[in-house]
Amino acid sequence: MPLEPFVPWSADLCHPSIALFEELKIDPQYINFPVNRINFSALSNAKSTKLKQSFAVRAVSEDEWGPDSSAPSVAVVEEKPSEIDLLKKRLVDSFYGTNRGLSASSETRAEIVELITQLEAKNPTPAPTEALPLLNGKWILAYTTFSGLFPLLSRGAALPLVKIEEISQTIDSVNFTVQNSVLFSGPGATTSISTNAKFEVRSPKRVQIKFEEGVIGTPQLTDSIALPDNVEFLGQKIDLSPFKSLLTSVEDTASSVAKTISSRPPLKFSLSNRNAESWLLTTYLDDELRISRGDGGSIFVLIKAGSLLLSP
């Protein structure tokens, strides 16, 4: 008579067969299966604390799955902004209405200095000159206490037809060059004034800058002016079609002049006097924000071009 196959596990594959225990004459209540245990005490309390600081856990309600969904309730992990991110957001928000520092009140200046001090204490790059790839690129000036820029900013504010579109600093960490640039816009054209310089690393935070030349950029023609067919003023409709031909003639003349000017190279001039040197101390640096201090304790806050911090 053939032997029946010996099946040590019951059909549900979860518990040993009672027949097996009877065969071995073992009481099932004394069998211990360590694989069914999880030692929760092995989890580190310190790691759990860090997770609480970095993430928030929320339950997903039925409304998010839909009323007819049979999906089980789950927890969604959401990353919380870090303390540095919150400080940077507060700092950039405090620049609103200050015209890069020119129009800042004493209270606003004090608030900005306090936020800068807190960020400097949490600087993630303690040796910026040893992290040149982070310094590399175009940086937009968002705020400064440097009085040397205030006459330029005030003149721009006083001239309604001329606007300072951007003040920037472009660093080439491979060739150790720096270009400071001011972009102006006026009626129908834009132009820029720049200075080109070389820099030398003097310490983990400090660079020495020597300016070599200034450059007045070639004016560039902006978009043409578009007039509507008519406008309504004080209840009266005014036909503007006769003015369109005149405007076209003026634009054609301006375009011809602009093309003639733009065909010429930028005007360069030498900066060889003894005052053409300065130094900068970078006190905070990450991939989107840079804080530097210069001669006389001047503060410069710059934001990397393309950063979301530049968004309104």
**pLDDT digits 0-9 by tens, 62-108:** 555 555 555 555 565 667 889 999 999 999 999 999 999 999 999 99
* Residues 163 and 106 placed together within one structural domain of the fold: yes
Q: Copy the structure tokens of residue 262.
A: 């733009």
Residue 122 CB partners (closer than 8 Å, separation 6+): 83, 84, 87
Please compute the mean of the pLDDT values over residues 176-200 and round it to a whole number: 85
Could you tell me if residue 13 is inside a domain?
Answer: no
Final residue of a structural domain among 79, 99, 131? 79
Residue 33: pLDDT band (50, 70, 90) is very low
Q: Residue 300: pLDDT above 70?
A: yes
* Residues 125 and 164 placed together within one structural domain of the fold: yes
Q: Residue 228: pLDDT above 80?
A: no
* Residues 70 and 214 placed together within one structural domain of the fold: no
100-156 pLDDT, tens digit each:
999 999 999 999 999 999 999 999 999 999 999 999 999 999 999 988 887 777 765
* Residues 64 and 117 placed together within one structural domain of the fold: no
* Residues 69 and 123 placed together within one structural domain of the fold: no
The CATH number of whichever domain residue 153 belongs to comes to 2.40.128.280
pLDDT-wise least confident of 142-146, 191-195, 198-202, 268-272:
268-272
Mean pLDDT score of the chain: 73
DSSP 3-state helix, strand, coil percentages of the chain (rounded to 5)? 35, 30, 35
- The number of folded domains in the chain is 2
* Residues 100 and 130 placed together within one structural domain of the fold: yes
Torsion, Cα of 137, 141, 144, 149 (10° steps)? 110
Residue 10 CB partners (closer than 8 Å, separation 6+): 16, 17, 18
If we measure between CA atoms, which residue out of 215, 192, 201, 214 comes closest to residue 276? Answer: 214
Please compute the mean of the pLDDT values over residues 161-181 and round it to a whole number: 90
Widest CA span of the chain, in angstroms?
A: 115
Q: How much is the pLDDT for 43?
A: 40
User: Which residues is 222 bridged to in the sheet?
Assistant: none
* Residues 103 and 159 placed together within one structural domain of the fold: yes
DSSP states along 123-149: -S-S-GGG-HHHH-EEEEEEEE--GGG
Q: How much is the pLDDT for 113?
A: 97
Which range marks the domain in which residue 53 is found? 18-79
Q: What angle do CA 86, 87, 91 make, to 5 degrees?
A: 120
* Residues 23 and 55 placed together within one structural domain of the fold: yes
This prediction's pTM: 0.64
If we measure between CA atoms, which residue out of 75, 108, 105 comes closest to residue 91? Answer: 108
